[in-house]
Structure 1
């Protein structure tokens, strides 16, 4: 399907705004989104990097309505499926599960759900807490300054996804490096494609090794190899592609949330005092941080049929982008939506999506955030930024996962 060029794309008499836009502050949505919602409504027209027009959903109620509508497709294999950046487009070519519609999506998800269940998360919580303790202790022994991303957030999330999948932790440096290329806004489509090929080669070798083991391990990949691959219900390619998407999603997003949450709390001393006063309410605080930060800022869809939402008609074949950061700041859904309130308890946020594509790893992410933040602020009560806040570099919106590149701290 061909799409109009950027030239001449207008909304009435004005040129269409670009999407996505850049954050000016790591923990605030791009200011242009608020202006769009207030001036034009919760579902607006915009323009993607390649000039293609798109609908952008900025309202909470409209997002919930659309995310459970089967006419809104997540099928990345469609040749006309939209993308917010060239790098994201490269990733879409090589992954499964996220970019599928039911019933195919449901069949894959059922094979994974037990590895990310509440029960499995509870079983892993001791290991997660032990690793958080070790990492914070190592920071204290080395002394300041320290980097929260490299010293705590990334190794904790990598350790956890390795345990879940059955990936040797000694390989974590390699897959972290390749995964970082996939989420970095600074790489080209060719670089992202090469990183995917490298991850594929690594996982192919790992699957080969697991097939030869006399007894399977307790990781998800071990189960997929010993059961689903062995009985032919999954192909080797299926197992490898599932491994790629879980490795990518399983550590980058959580590491970004831990790092950005730390920065946000340090910038909001009154709320940090609330957090320190009662660590038993960490689960409540994590929920608000998930809403407030909304690091997975762009959800991509395409209309498989005409859809009417409010006074807007989305036509078959239209691109639809959902801006989670602005959706979770909708004043119609959250009172004082721009205020960080760790006692809010707003579990109806869409930080993990909604409907059949709601994040499968959300229980695990919550557990990691609780352990990391509680341990960090309990063990290091004098924690502070080691550089001025304005020197903390923001990841551009096109990265897909919002965050910061590093967070230097002292005490």
Structure 2
């Protein structure tokens, strides 16, 4: 069967939503076969109900191939699963890590404890931006360092080692296997040292909590788990910060609403995740002969679920392309669905809430430093975002 090319986000035609081809595909009777950037062929699923079905049924559609092998060449779907690489595990193996991670990164108690830390990181970064010449690249000089610092704090990584985190995460998403291998060594050495210290010096950071769990994880499992959390959360949340900020600057009415009514911030976070998240889709592999929406699927076939396409499905969300902070977004799929729903979603919500509310409060004059049409977007990664994002302001108010 012939295949078309996987539709990817297109900043020129649709910067805040799925490419136009997705709407036409969604209305077709059968699933299309698409050729992905890494060379694999996959079935493309775009309707909300079908995407939810695939994500919610790991017995038929496994995540063992990873989620980004259709986009990232250094993440082949047939690679062996490493100890601690829990996002690619299923069943009891996956739950072993998931249950252990819950008190470290997702409970209300943990989020309450880390909220002041996130606020301090954001405020410190804005204080630093206030000393720099304008315009400033908000993606490189704010979104990325804020997010990597939050993940480092979560894991208990000292500030002196944050550059290793940045370099390691960047190499993972640039698609160069040699760069990734070179960046891994110092990052792994840093984490191995930290794990060894947590064996004798208990702490309330995520690694300390995992070390103290009764599951008795090996050092290798802890190491890969920490690296997985970094890689999974780095590009996703930093891209969302930049995308959401650009969307606000492109819509002065919504930015004014955020400044004037902080109570809408939680709704804004959910709406941004619904509208902007996971534009390149998530990869799955069929575990058995089955069908999706009447289309026969053979065991071993790859499936790309268009999460953004599902979140813009008018059958589920009225006027889905409109940004509406008061929309009922409880059923959006921006954090996934089913047993592999994003394990760090509560941390992402917290970080986005702090960032958006603080930007609105401390830089109410924030604006683009170039015409919107001149903003360029990074490509070739699972998460698109404006890069660079040049901004300017009249004043950054004290924290």
Same fold (TM over 0.5): yes
Q: Is residue 2:206 matched to residue 1:220?
A: yes
Whether 1:376 and 2:362 are equivalent positions in the alignment is no
Distance verdict in 2 for CA 1:389–1:108, change over 3 Å: same
The residue correspondences of 1:45-64 to structure 2 (distance < 5 A) are: 45-49=33-37, 51-64=39-52
Displacement, 1:277?
2.4
**Match of 1:409?**
391
Does the CA-based 8 Å contact 1:183-1:401 persist in structure 2? no
Q: Deviations over 1:273-332 (max 9, x none)?
A: 222221121001111011110146321111111222322222211111111121111111
Quick one: which of 290, 306, 324 aligns to 2:273?
290
CA distance in 2, matches of 1:347, 1:151: 32
Runs of 4+ in 1 over 6 A off after TM superposition: none
Aligned-pair CA distance for 1:113? 0.8
Q: What are the within-5 Å matches in structure 2 for residues 326-365 of structure 1?
A: 326-365=309-348
Q: Of 148, 163, 167, which residue of structure 2 is paired with 1:158?
A: 148
Question: Root-mean-square deviation (CA), in Å?
Answer: 2.4
Structure 2: segments with no counterpart, 5+ residues: 394-399
Partner residue, 2:109:
119
Q: Which structure 1 segments of 5+ residues have no match? A: 1-8, 11-15
Contact 1:296 1:401 in 2 (8 A): yes
SS at 2:85 equivalent: coil
The alpha-carbon deviation at position 167 of structure 1 amounts to: 1.1
Per the alignment, residue 163 of structure 2 pairs with 173
**CA offset digits 1:204-227 (Å, max 9, x no partner):** 23323434x4x3122121233354
SS in 2 for 1:126: helix
Give me the TM-score of the superposition, normalised by structure 1.
Answer: 0.87
TM-score by length of 2: 0.89
SS of equivalent to 1:87: coil
Counterpart CA distance in 2 for 1:85 and 1:156 is 24
Q: How many angstroms does 1:82 deviate by?
A: 5.8
Change (3 A) 1:92 1:299: farther
Structure 2 partner of 1:246: 229
> How many Å separate the matches in 1 of 2:317 and 2:136?
35
How far apart are residue 375 of structure 1 and its match? 0.9
CA distance in 2, matches of 1:29, 1:223: 39
Over 3 Å counting, the alpha-carbon distance change for 1:66 and 1:375 in structure 2 is same
- Indicate how the Cα distance of structure 1 residues 33 and 197 shifts in structure 2: closer, same or farther if over 3 A, else same: farther
Offset from partner CA, 1:22-43 (integer Å, 9 cap, x none): 42344232233223223x2473
Shift of 1:137: 2.9
| TM-superposed deviation, 1:87 | 2.4
Partner in structure 1 of residue 396 of structure 2: none
